[in-house]
Structure 1
């Protein structure tokens, strides 16, 4: 049985790398992402008899196409389709960090939101109701302190439940104006026709509406590699396609 792939996403300075090091210990290595100067960090660990491969994505504030880091992070989640994505948030800057979490929730259902640095939040008198937040986001939420190894077992058990489908997430998705939603539906239908359920059609439709040329290029590359009999010319590249 192949190892379970897990992506680790988050803003810079959220303790994401600390969590990565805590989980993988010495079982890790680094290199560059193919065709990029961006560092790729990958490690492994075991839990409940399962082997996991953990990929530490570059720290980013968004998952658009504004930098190589952003492209690497979003392309891994969308095209490599990890079995789970852990989004690490800073408990002391939750509102700002949630922007990235919402973007990941548009891409995949298989998400755990990890609220790190909870010890720092406690010092500042910040109280976070993780159950209420989980109900709002529609995915599991775990509070922890990676550097103090608080909440690690809960995170791992939650991950186990997610990959074994003992949890059925229903992620929150943004809704837009009637006109935008109509255009999303039109493009989404074309994307689904091309890829079925392989790729997140709604998220792709949103990015195409926004004129994301880098994503268009990546989709054409994906078609060339994966979809025999489908041509890149069938790809809707604008809202008027």
Structure 2
């Protein structure tokens, strides 16, 4: 019987050391090209841990996943439609507040997340102290401190990835609360979204994107295999227009 190959997505803001982590994990086992139909660079690599194979996709560095650019659309679509076994979100420990915006967006999309708190060596030099356990508790997912360029924390990260892919880590991602008006609209839209996507995609996140007028998501949903959309290929548009 062939061993399963696990897929890992690597997300993060630019300049967080995301590509450094990618290189540390994959070494020379990597290649680059373009995403289909895009001018965006596609970087993919492989690594082995405890005799199991992992494929890791280095998603474009972005500040958000709101499909305002080709980079954001590529990152968003892979997390949603590629359904990676684990999504690693790389944060800069010296700029945690700014970086958490992307992490919270990813946590709305999937519960299979590990937060990589990179540049911990720089944070220490600046006298910054981060309560890793409390941050993990607040976010509802594992947080692993790293200094990727020094290969510090890599073994702990690999072990955390292995435990997650084997179902040994239960996560409960934080649910971001919005204004009363937005929450009321989400509540109204959710049943309609669930009719369309069922359990295939995160209904609350889809509802938020529809409320934001994300037409590129509608387009992407309509181009997924029709069996994934319960009402057929045109039903998503109907749901959006009807609800908003």
TM-score by length of 1: 0.95
**Paired residues of 1:224 and 1:232 also in contact (CA < 8 A):** no
Query: What does residue 211 of structure 2 align with?
Result: 209
After TM superposition, the structure 1 = structure 2 runs for residues 147-166 of structure 1, keeping only pairs within 5 Å, are: 147-166=149-168
After TM superposition, the structure 1 = structure 2 runs for residues 3-152 of structure 1, keeping only pairs within 5 Å, are: 3-152=5-154
Q: 1:195 to 1:233 in 2, by over 3 A?
A: closer
Residues 110-163 of structure 1 deviation map (CA, whole Å, 9 limit, x = unaligned): 000000010000100011111010000000000010000000000011111111
The equivalent position to 1:186 in structure 2, one of 185, 188, 196, is: 188
**Paired residues of 1:223 and 1:230 also in contact (CA < 8 A):** no
Q: How far apart, CA to CA, are the structure 2 residues paired with 1:234 and 1:53?
A: 32
Question: What's the C-alpha RMSD, in Å, of the aligned pairs?
Answer: 1.5
Residues 186-232 of structure 1 deviation map (CA, whole Å, 9 limit, x = unaligned): 32222222222111111010000010111111111125474486231
Q: How far apart, CA to CA, are the structure 2 residues paired with 1:239 and 1:129?
A: 45
Deviation at 1:2, TM superposition (A): 3.0
Deviation at 1:167, TM superposition (A): 0.7
Deviation at 1:9, TM superposition (A): 0.2
| Greater shift in the superposed pair: 149-158 or 227-236 | 227-236
Gaps of 5+ in 1: none
Deviation at 1:108, TM superposition (A): 0.2
Matched positions, count = 241
| Greater shift in the superposed pair: 100-109 or 158-167 | 158-167
Query: What does residue 237 of structure 1 align with?
Result: 240
**Paired residues of 1:88 and 1:115 also in contact (CA < 8 A):** yes
TM-score by length of 2: 0.94
Deviation at 1:179, TM superposition (A): 3.1
**Paired residues of 1:211 and 1:238 also in contact (CA < 8 A):** no
Q: 1:234 to 1:78 in 2, by over 3 A?
A: closer
Gaps of 5+ in 2: none
